[in-house]
Amino acid sequence: MPVVSLKNLVKNPLSVLSDVSSAKSEIDFQPETFDAHVMTTYGRFPVALTRGEGCRVWDSEGLEYLDFVAGIATCTLGHAHPAMIDAVTQQIKKLHHVSNLYYIPEQGALAQWLVEHSCADKVFFCNSGAEANEGAIKLARKYAHTQLNIADPVIITANASFHGRTLATITATGQPKYQKNFNPLVPGFHYVPYNDIQALEAAIAQLNAEQPRVAAILLEPLQGEGGVNPGQADYFQRIRQICDEQKILLILDEVQVGMGRTGKLWGYENLGIEPDVFTLAKGLGGGVPIGATLTKQHCDVLRPGDHASTFGGNPFVCGVALSVCQTLAQQTLVANAQARGEQLRAGLATLVSKYDDLVEQVRGWGLINGLVLTSDQAIDIVRAAMSEGLLLVPAGPRVVRFVPPLVVSAAEIDAAVDKLDRVLSQIAD
Ligand SMILES: *Cc1c(COP(=O)(O)O)cnc(C)c1O
């Protein structure tokens, strides 16, 4: 298979043109060549996925898998969904990128959809979850400086949280393994145990002892990477009260749980509260790179020059994300996430009683669920499931995570539970 190279380009521009069309149709994949050129920042499974449809994907050898990873809770509509194909095609033909120097109608329409369907009043668009959280952190700091007169603001986050991989967001992330070797970290963060209201109240009292310093509390409604650990409603309701009383911003990281994943459109609906600010990314574009920071009016403090992104909110990603949102609503996929999630938890609960030496518990909301193991075997179970044609992803060493596309069918849920049953029976032997 011919390969496009810079050398070719310089030597013979015409030959490159023909190379481009053939390279597009099929890329010759060799793991050794890949590893020779791509930084080894990921521990990858020895599989290259090359095609997908609905909740199924195929690898370069033609083997089929049931995809309960969905690009880590990202492919909301699964693979090759007609609505996405249509939106991508229409938008690329029309206009794909300009700049925020100009009004972008698709960006406005997506922001309007999000505002009309959530508690937020305004939206800023970026390209990823980490960036969405960076935007929220900057917003909270400016709010503290300009509205609360705090010179040295602190943001409280939780142990076992995950907020991204930029310097500020690994600092916000309450897990030392993501911070190791990247000192000095960003100042202004303080950690508390999750779902522990006494610890939070004590931390606020201590930080605010001399003068007010706490600007915001940043939490996931359900901790995803940290082990699929749902937030408790009474914990979040008390936090909401504290934030109202002390003018502290409540920021929710909905990067993994937003967009219908939990069987409600937003994760916070499971907790009976509204945040002041929340962030989105993964499921928002169904797989095109987009993130968003959403805020209520009273803390909408960012002004021209404060924050920006070259790619953020471009016509391409916003056109596609809008069609993902509309499809979610038209095909009642949030209700599907609720129903299929209940079915999955019931199926997994039977495995918990059948293999009680291996599996401790199933927990989650809608279509984000974790199987909690009795020992650190998550990666072994994920590998074995892959051999059975089922894609899963660990959430820490002891939890296997299930985050299929929201279009998943009842038959596909049953098939996944059957495959996992075979995997656990092999491991139990
Ligand atoms: C994935 C994730 C992020 C980071 O998103 P990126 O797009 O990888 O930057 C942040 N917060 C949560 C809760 C996530 O699950």
User: Is 253 known to be catalytic?
Assistant: yes
User: Is 306 known to be catalytic?
Assistant: no
For residue 14, the model assigns a pLDDT of 44
Q: Which CATH architecture has domain 98-313?
A: 3-Layer(aba) Sandwich (3.40)
What tokens appear for 185 in the block?
């970290």
Q: Which of 125, 162, 189, 278 is catalytic?
A: 162
Residues with CB under 6 A from ligand 1: 128-130, 133, 162-164, 220, 224-225, 253, 255-256, 281-282
Residue with tokens 């939780």: 158
Cβ-based burial of 250 (10 A; exposed 0-12, middle 13-18, buried ≥19): buried
Q: How far is CA 143 from CA 133, 146, 188, 207, in A?
A: 15, 5, 14, 18
Residues of the chain with CATH 3.40.640.10: 98-313
What tokens appear for 162 in the block?
């995950």
CA of 352 to the centre of ligand 1 (A): 29
Q: Pick from 315, 150, 160, 151: which is nearest to 229 by CA?
A: 160
Determine the residue of 74, 162, 220, 368 to mutate for testing ligand 1's pocket, defined as the one with the most ligand atoms within 8 A of the Cβ atom.
162
Determine the residue of 69, 72, 170, 225 to mutate for testing ligand 1's pocket, defined as the one with the most ligand atoms within 8 A of the Cβ atom.
225
257: DSSP letter: T
User: Phi, psi (5° rounding) for residue 7?
Assistant: -60, -50
213: DSSP letter: -
The amino acid that residue 325 corresponds to is C
Determine the residue of 163, 173, 194, 252 to mutate for testing ligand 1's pocket, defined as the one with the most ligand atoms within 8 A of the Cβ atom.
163
Residue with tokens 């179970």: 381
In order along its 429 residues, the chain shows pLDDT tens digits of 344 444 444 444 444 444 444 444 578 889 999 999 999 999 999 999 999 999 999 999 999 999 999 999 999 999 999 999 999 999 999 999 999 999 999 999 999 999 999 999 999 999 999 999 999 999 999 999 999 999 999 999 999 999 999 999 999 999 999 999 999 999 999 999 999 999 999 999 999 999 999 999 999 999 999 999 999 999 999 999 999 999 999 999 999 999 999 999 999 999 999 999 999 999 999 999 999 999 999 999 999 999 999 999 999 999 999 999 999 999 999 999 999 999 999 999 999 999 999 999 999 999 999 999 999 999 999 999 999 999 999 999 999 999 999 999 999 999 999 999 999 999 988
Q: Which of 19, 67, 253, 300 is catalytic?
A: 253
How is domain 6-80+333-428 classified at the CATH fold level?
Aspartate Aminotransferase, domain 1 (3.90.1150)
d(CA 398, CA 359): 10
DSSP-assigned beta bridge partners for residue 253: 279
CA of 208 to the centre of ligand 1 (A): 29
Q: Which of 68, 125, 278, 282 is catalytic?
A: 282
Ordered strands of the 189-192 beta sheet = 122-126, 291-295, 277-280, 249-253, 214-219, 154-158, 189-192
User: Is 311 known to be catalytic?
Assistant: no
8 A C-beta contact, residue 85 and residue 286? no
What tokens appear for 3 in the block?
């390969």
164: DSSP letter: -
CA of 214 to the centre of ligand 1 (A): 24
For residue 5, the model assigns a pLDDT of 42
| Nearest atom (ligand 1) to Cα of 169 | 10
d(CA 63, CA 423): 18
CA of 142 to the centre of ligand 1 (A): 23
Strand 390-391 and strand 399-402: pairing? unpaired
pTM comes to 0.94
Q: CA dihedral defined by 68, 70, 74, 79, rounded to 10 degrees?
A: -130
Residues of the chain with CATH 3.90.1150.10: 6-80+333-428
For residue 429, the model assigns a pLDDT of 82
| Nearest atom (ligand 1) to Cα of 133 | 10
E strand intervals along 259-416: 277-280, 291-295, 359-365, 368-373, 390-391, 393-394, 399-402
d(CA 199, CA 400): 28
